[in-house]
Structure 1
Amino acid sequence: MAMTVLQTRVDSETKLAAENLFSSLGLDITTAIRLFLKQAINQQKIPFEIVPPKKQFSAEVLAAIDEAKKISRNPNVKSYSSAKALFEDCE
């Protein structure tokens, strides 16, 4: 398979922190990025949950987020495939 170059720019602090993390896992940054890309393709999505840094939220908001996660994972909670179905059920 032909190889190509992928370049990206990040601030020095982010690069150093990523290099330190990946090095502790036995990876270099190029391999870590390649793993991310392969997993995104395999799963057809971002292969992890994207959340803002928790320091931006109050304790009340963090508790609400945790509650929402628990509810969304509970198989006994009724779910809807669309907003229309939800609104119809509310009538």
Structure 2
Amino acid sequence: IKAGGKFSECHFIEFMGCPGGCLGGGGQPIPTNAEIRAKRAEAIYAEEAGLPIRKSHENPHISYIYENFLTDGPCSHLSHKLLHTSYVKRGKYIA
């Protein structure tokens, strides 16, 4: 950021790897350990159990997107390009 380039206009850049996914990551109450993360996951699954749409492939809005925009299907090159992400191990500092 200090050196300029494309990141010089950023106000904030966040990089993180969350143990246990978002259940153990930034923004969660501290402290956390495996038992606490397991309890959080249990609470999320219990809350989700009563929802009318629980799986993304059963969501009519997602079906609409695939039927009208990503017509090659969920495993197509375009859907992968637009909807998937990848992770790269980074060092302590960005150079």
The TM-score range, normalised by the shorter chain, is: under 0.3
TM-score norm. by structure 1 comes to: 0.23
Q: Which has the larger radius of gyration?
A: 1
TM-score normalised by the chain length of structure 2: 0.22
